[in-house]
Structure 1
Amino acid sequence: MPAPAATMSRAQKDRLTSDLRMACMRISRRVRFESTMDVAPHQFSILVRLEDGPRTPKEVAEIEQVSAPSISRTVGSLVERGLVSRSDDPADGRQVILSLTSEGRRTIKETRRRRDQWLATRLEHLSDDERALLVEATALLERVAAE
């Protein structure tokens, strides 16, 4: 077991930081790629951005931190698949409003279910003590993420 943080050397703290970052990235990547529903991770991210209500492509691009042409291509494919709809903005005819369709909402729900299932399957292989440790670690990670 590693030394308590108060007695960790600078090198040990640096190693912990790096190892934790890499583990979080690997889990995130695995969950995204191993449990998709024929929707690429970047497409799913856009669907989730529309979950709370309609947005303009510009708003989505800003949130996603991608270029307007990139959003346009991705949204185009989501519209073709019936996951997103486009409509004219009643307040500004030059703007387009993007909204989730019922199929888009179903895709979000099913993708989340699959992601949870994928992770739950891996957690089943852990002992009760290991799962209890993850409960504590999750609380710590939430605290770190909130800072």
Structure 2
Amino acid sequence: MSPSKSLATSRPSASDSAHPGLSPTALAGLAYELRLACMRISRRVRFESDGPVRPHEFSVLCRLDDGPKTPREVADIERVSAPSMTRTTSALVERGLVARADDPADGRQVILSLTPEGHKVLRGIRRQRDRWMHDRLRDLTPDEQETLTRAAEILQRVAAK
């Protein structure tokens, strides 16, 4: 039985006391289906937008949009090696999207921040990605749109844990 079949036919078990709901099998099916759907949407959004930066560079721009960071901080957040992050940020610095400055608190460190051009590129890519998603949501029924509104709130909570 596929995960989606088990999701549709499973019932809560008597042992689910704290939060009665889906059976363990159905919950596993839901986890599978949500993971696949999130991955597919993420991939489509990432590759449908035709921006001047690659997906991993876009991610670095987003991290720096939250505020200046050291290369090590960005590498840790992105879960990549320091040498890999150095290559990525060097390419962004070379293209004028990221600025590199000495850390006033520690002269051995550098601080990365977005340049005005980096902010502009980031806004443009976000606009493209939002437009792509908007175009798909527009075709849904009002009930489907409302369901996704609630689902987005729930998924934000799940992602924050």
Report the TM-score when normalising by structure 1: 0.88
TM-score, with length taken from structure 2: 0.81
Determine whether 1:54 maps to 2:68. Answer: yes
**1:82, distance to aligned residue in structure 2 (A):** 0.5
Structure 2: runs of 5 or more not aligned? 1-6, 14-21
Q: Match of 1:101, as an amino acid?
A: T
Q: How far did 1:60 drift?
A: 1.2
- For residues 46 and 100 of structure 1, the distance between their equivalents in structure 2, rounded to whole angstroms, comes to 10
The aligned residue for residue 102 of structure 2 is 88
Asked if residue 25 in structure 1 is aligned to residue 39 in structure 2, the reply is yes
Alignment of 1:62-141 (within 5 A): 62-141=76-155
Answer yes or no: is the 8 Å Cα contact 1:43–1:74 preserved in 2. yes
Total equivalences in the alignment: 147
Identical columns (%): 56
Which structure has more relative contact order (CA 8 Å, sep 6+)? It is 1
Query: SS in structure 2 opposite 1:54?
Result: coil
Q: Which of residues 6, 10, 26 in structure 1 aligns to 2:12?
A: 6
Instruction: Report the CA distance between 1:5 and its aligned residue.
Output: 5.9
Quick check: 2:10–2:26 contact (8 Å CA) kept in 1?
no
**CA RMSD for the aligned pairs?**
2.0
Match of 1:43 in 2: 57
TM-aligned CA distance change 1:51 to 1:9, over 3 Å = closer
